[in-house]
Amino acid sequence: MNFAGSQLEAVLADVRRGMIPAHVYGDPQIFALERDRLFARSWVFLAHESEIPDPGDYVVRRVLADSFIVARDESGAVRVMFNMCLHRGMQVCRAEMGNASHFRCPYHAWTYRNDGSLTGLPFHAEAYGGEDGFPREGQSLLPAPAMGIHNGLIFISLDPGAPPLPEYLGDFAFYLDFYTRQSPAGVELRGPQRWRVKANWKIGAENFAGDSYHTPHTHASVVDIGLFREPKASKRKEGALYVAGPGVGTTYKLPPGGDFASQLRYVGYPDAMIPAMAASWSAGQRALIADSGFMVSAATLFPNLSLVHNWPQIDERGTVAPFISLRQWQPVSERETEVLSWFAVDAAAPEAFKRDSYKAYLMCFGSSGMFEQDDVENWVSITEMAAGSMARRLRLNSRMGLTSAGQPIKPPLATFAGPGVAYQGFGEFNQRHWLRQWSDHLEDPR
């Protein structure tokens, strides 16, 4: 690393005071540090259990350049294995999904069971002298150094010393449930849509983390066309922003005077789903909706998993249907990101609801979504601007919500039922929290 320590220190000091050196959104040296110090250590989302429901089901996913097979083995356990053959390093599985009891390497046909164990080795006796020369016992594709599952969400860390996943998720688990545990059946994921954008991966992560400020302008067009029942863009400033453990998110303020069921009905959940939501969520989770009057919307779990919940009108009659999407900002380089965007829906929801919710998702987010279209245009442009020399002289002001002395311009919400700290109105508290975690990783040479 030829990025001098003092240079990095200066960058991180600026980031921590909310003045972000613009080049971090297009700098190959920063990207190398992100690879080595952030993605090599952090918990990273790979897949959801619903994508591999049956024994033998698998998907292939990456953490940057590292390919992993995420499989359900014959005993029903989830396995995450580095997709590189033990013999000469061929990529063992080159499909991105399917069902297989075994994976056979295309090069010399070493064969692995779907739990990763090496079972087949051609000419074992002649080439290796059998078990004596090469004992197959105990040989297996390299397992992910650490793996954890929460609400069916499968995460791995490349750091075997990573804290246990529940400890890492901490207070953010409270908020994850709104997206991924609306009933005991849990959520099912469809997709992902995948596409590559010429944008730095951090920009999307920060946007979903807390940029309610962009909605009135960037997304003016979806309001213009009446995709929402109310002029939602300006409503954005009544929402609360929360910081909770490794996650941060945004909410919408619900209409005054509602109770738990009426508020869920208001955002389009059918009566058939509401009892399961009431039973599935804690008193505190119910109170966030019923008493505090907030409904979760966009959020980001550090580093690169974002979630979104919104409720457009999906037909001429004005039917309101909520949808959930999970999306991953998979870095390709400092100037390119692969977006993986899943549609998520409660597995126990009525089929008619699933259909409506899917339609709502496609209209709003994903590769063709009308929100996402304008978001990406902005992010590509920032990345282009960040690549030059002048960006090294510019510090982007990310201090919204703070006085010049560094105090919040208004106090945190006293009556917010969720864990963590919440502020009502616009602010960049969430992006700064996300960037602080980013800075902590980048400065740690370990």
Query: Cα separation of 209 and 202, whole Å?
Result: 10
Query: Cα separation of 147 and 69, whole Å?
Result: 13
Query: Which residues fall within 8 angstroms of residue 14, CB to CB, at 6 or more apart?
Result: 20, 21, 395
* Residue 433: Cβ within 10 Å count: 24
Question: Which residues of this chain interact with another protein, rule CB under 8 A?
Answer: 94-100, 190-199, 217-218, 220-222, 224-225, 227, 314-316, 338, 343, 358-359, 362-363, 366-370, 372-374, 376-378, 380, 384
Phi, psi of 331, deg, nearest 5: -70, 135
Bridge pairing between strands 118-120 and 111-113: antiparallel
* CB of 337 or CB of 424, closer to another protein: 337
- Of the candidates 418, 352, 339, 350, which has an alpha carbon nearest to the alpha carbon of residue 379? 339
136 binds ligand FES (CB under 6 A): no
- Binding range to Fe ion, per CB under 5 A, among 157-165, 285-293, 342-350, 369-377: 369-377
Strand partners, 111: 104, 120
> The tokens of 402 are what?
């703070």
Task: Give ∠ CA 286-292-296 in degrees, rounded to 5.
Answer: 70
Minimum CB distance to another protein, residue 174 (Å): 29
In the block, tokens 């979760």 appear at 296
CB 327 within 8 A of CB 342: yes
Minimum CB distance to another protein, residue 36 (Å): 25
* Residue of this chain nearest to Fe ion (CB atom): 375
User: Alpha-carbon dihedral of residues 40, 41, 44, 46, nearest 10 degrees?
Assistant: 50
* CB of 165 or CB of 222, closer to another protein: 222
- Binding range to ligand FES, per CB under 6 A, among 3-11, 108-116, 151-159, 222-230: 108-116
Q: Is the dihedral of CA 383, 385, 387, 390 positive or negative?
A: negative
Minimum CB distance to another protein, residue 10 (Å): 31
* CB of 141 or CB of 296, closer to ligand FES: 141
105 binds ligand FES (CB under 6 A): yes
Q: How many residues bind ligand FES (CB under 6 A)?
A: 10
- Partner whose footprint covers residue 107, from another protein, Fe ion, ligand FES, none (CB < 5 to 8 Å by kind): ligand FES
- Partner whose footprint covers residue 88, from ligand FES, another protein, Fe ion, none (CB < 5 to 8 Å by kind): ligand FES
- Partner whose footprint covers residue 105, from another protein, ligand FES, Fe ion, none (CB < 5 to 8 Å by kind): ligand FES
Beta strands (DSSP E) in 205-267 are 240-244, 247-253
* CB of 75 or CB of 123, closer to ligand FES: 123
- Partner whose footprint covers residue 90, from Fe ion, another protein, ligand FES, none (CB < 5 to 8 Å by kind): ligand FES
Minimum CB distance to another protein, residue 341 (Å): 10
Give the Å distances, CA to CA, from 160 to 138, 165, 417, 430: 19, 12, 35, 28
Minimum CB distance to another protein, residue 15 (Å): 27
Give the Å distances, CA to CA, from 313 to 81, 168, 251, 357, 369: 42, 37, 19, 10, 14
Q: Which of 34, 73, 177, 375 binds Fe ion (CB under 5 A)?
A: 375
Q: Which amino acid is at 185?
A: A
Query: Cα separation of 40 and 38, whole Å?
Result: 5
* CB of 205 or CB of 363, closer to another protein: 363
Q: Which amino acid is at 394?
A: L
* CB of 139 or CB of 313, closer to ligand FES: 139
- Binding range to Fe ion, per CB under 5 A, among 178-186, 253-261, 370-378, 404-412: 370-378
- Partner whose footprint covers residue 110, from another protein, ligand FES, Fe ion, none (CB < 5 to 8 Å by kind): ligand FES
Interface pattern 328-367 for ligand FES (x via CB under 6 A): ----------------------------------------
Query: Cα separation of 202 and 200, whole Å?
Result: 6
CB 421 within 8 A of CB 53: no
Interface pattern 64-103 for ligand FES (x via CB under 6 A): ---------------------x-xxxx-------------
Segment (H or E) for 264: helix 260-266
Minimum CB distance to another protein, residue 226 (Å): 8
Q: Which amino acid is at 373?
A: Q
* CB of 115 or CB of 384, closer to another protein: 384
The residues binding ligand FES (CB under 6 A) are 85, 87-90, 105, 107-110
The residues binding Fe ion (CB under 5 A) are 375
